[in-house]
Structure 1
Amino acid sequence: MFYQTLIDEFTAMSRGIIGEKLTGIYLHGSMAMNCFNSEKSDIDLLIVIEDGIRNVQKIEFLKQFVKLNEKGPAKGLEISIVKREFCKPFVYPTPFELHFSPMYLQWIKDNPENYVESMKGMDKDLAAHFTVINKYGIVLYGEMIEHVFEEVPKKDYIDSIWCDVKGASEEITKEPIYMILNLCRVLAFIKDNLYLSKQSAGEWGVSHLPRKYHFLISRALDCYKSNQLMREDMELARQFANEMLAIICRQKLILSDE
C-alpha cells in the first residue's frame, strides 16, 4: 500500500492518544478504492470512538497529526473523528468530534484551542464516507466494519453526494477534473445504483453519457491518472455541468416520490 509507514505511524499515534476509547480506524476514499494518485489524491481516514475525548487530547492529536501530514501526498491527509453512537444506528447529518483537512493548517498552527472548540458539529459528507467504508473500507485497527457501521439510507447518500456537486456550474472552471468525475459518480449512482471511485465513474461516463462530452470526460480521466493539468474548453465544461445537474435534479425528484 502507498504510504504504508505513514499509515502505520498514524494508527499508532491515534491509539496512544485516544487509548481505550478508540473503537476503530478506517481507511476510505481513493486509496481504499484502488485509484490513488499521489499528486491528485488525499489519504482519507475515519476514527470511531466510544465516547467523547477531551480538548487536551484533541490538541495533542492535531499537533502530531500536522507533522504526519507533512509526510503525506500533495493533497495531504483528511480525517474525521466520530462517536460510535452515530454510526449504528446511522444519524444524518452526522455529528463529528473533530475534523482535519490541510485547508485548516494555518488556523491550527495559530490557535489550536480555538480550532478544537470550533471544529465540531454536523457534516453531511460523512454519509458518503460511511457508504464508501461499507463498500470498500479497510480496517486499520479495531472492530470490523459491519459491527460499527450501519448501511446509509439511499436518500441520505444522495443528499450527501448532491451537496458535493450542486455548485458545479461555477466550480467546474476552478476544479474541472474533480467536478467532471464527481458529476459522473453521482449520475452513475442515480441511474445505475453504482458506488464508484472517480476513476471508475469517469469510465462509466464515457460509456453512458452523451457523446459530445466523451472527449471532455476522457481528458479529465487522463489528467486524474497523471500529473497533467486540465486546460480544456471551459465553456463546454460549464455546459456539461449544467446538463448533468439538470438530469440529477430530475432523477432526485423521481426518487423522492418513490
Structure 2
Amino acid sequence: MERYLSGLAAAAARALGDDLVGCYLHGSAVLGGFDARHSDVDVLVVAAGATSAAQRASLTAGLAALPCPAVGLELSVVTRAAAAGPTAAPRFELHLTTARDDPKVVDGHARGGDPDLVLHFAVCCRAGRVVGPGPAAAAVFAPVPAALVLAQLVAELGWAVGHATGEYAVLNACRAWRFAVDGALVSKVDGGRWARDRVGAADRALIAAALARQRREAAVRLHPAAVAAFVQRIGAHLTAP
C-alpha cells in the first residue's frame, strides 16, 4: 500500500506540476475497516485551480499504470477553492475508478457537482492523511456543516438498498445513525459495532450477520426484506422532526 500511495503521489506531481496542492487518503483506509479483498483505495487530489485537459489525461494515464493493492482506486481531483468551500454538490475536475467491475473516467468540466464529495471532504477534514508533500488535510479541507453531512448520509441509505450488498446497506445505515447521535464520522464496521448494542434482538442479529459478512468471517445470508426494513427504520429516525 505504501509503495502504491508513493507512486500515486508521484504520478499526480508529474501530471499537475506546480498546480498540485496535495494528495489525501480518506475512506476506510483512515477510518478503519479497510480490507483489500473488498475495499477501495480512496484519494482526493487537490489542485491549486482549474486543470487542463492535458493534465487530466496525464494523470489518468499515470494512475492506470499502477497496480492497485485493493479492489481498485476511487479518486477525484478537486480545486482548493472547492475543498475550502463545501456545498451540497461540490464541483470536481476529474473522477476515476479502477475497480474491475466499474472502471470509469469522468471529466468534471462536463458535469455538475458530485454529492458524494460531501462525505469525502468531511472525512478528509477530520482524518485525511496527506500522501507525499503538501499541507495537512485540515489546512486544505474546510469543516463541512453537519446538515450537509447528514443529508448526504440519508441520501445514501436509499441508494445502498437498491445498488449495494446487504451488509453495506445495513452498516452504512448504522454509521449514519451514529453521526446523527453524536456527530462522529466512523467506518461502516465501527458504526455496526456501535449500533449493535442499541437495538432489539432481531436487528442485533441482522447487524451481527452484516459485520460477519463484511469481515468475510461467514457467509450468512441477509434477507433483502429485512435489510430494506432496517434501513427504512433508520432513515425515518434520521429524518424525524
TM over 0.5: yes
Q: Deviations over 1:71-126 (max 9, x none)?
A: 331x2010010000122233332110000123653x65xxxxxx537664301111
Q: Deviations over 1:148-188 (max 9, x none)?
A: 111101111111222211234444xx511111100001111
Query: Within 1, Cα distance between the matches of 2:223 and 2:88?
Result: 38
Q: What is aligned with 2:92? A: 96
Query: Within 2, Cα distance between the matches of 1:155 and 1:123?
Result: 17
Q: What is the identity, as a one-letter code, of the residue corresponding to 2:222?
A: E
SS in 1 for 2:113: strand
Q: What is aligned with 1:112? A: none
Q: What is aligned with 1:149? A: 141
Q: Map 1:96-245; keep pairs closer than 5 Å.
A: 96-102=92-98, 105=103, 115-116=106-107, 120-140=111-131, 141-171=133-163, 175-226=165-216, 228-245=218-235
Query: Within 2, Cα distance between the matches of 1:130 and 1:32?
Result: 13
Contact 2:24–2:130 (8 Å) recurs in 1: yes
Q: What is the identity, as a one-letter code, of the residue corresponding to 2:85?
A: P
Query: Within 2, Cα distance between the matches of 1:189 and 1:29?
Result: 15
Q: Deviations over 1:3-23 (max 9, x none)?
A: 111111001111111110011
Which residue of 69, 78, 83 maps to 1:72? 69
Q: What is the identity, as a one-letter code, of the residue corresponding to 1:35?
A: G
For structure 1, list consecutive stretches of 5 or more residues without a partner in the other structure: 109-114
SS in 1 for 2:44: strand
Give the CA deviation at 1:248. Answer: 2.0
For structure 2, list consecutive stretches of 5 or more residues without a partner in the other structure: none
SS in 1 for 2:130: strand
Q: Percent identity?
A: 25
Query: Within 1, Cα distance between the matches of 2:122 and 2:162?
Result: 27
Contact 2:94–2:108 (8 Å) recurs in 1: no
Runs of 4+ in 1 over 6 A off after TM superposition: none
Which residue of 6, 9, 14 maps to 2:7? 9
Q: What is the identity, as a one-letter code, of the residue corresponding to 1:156?
A: L
Q: Deviations over 1:186-211 (max 9, x none)?
A: 11111232211111001011011233
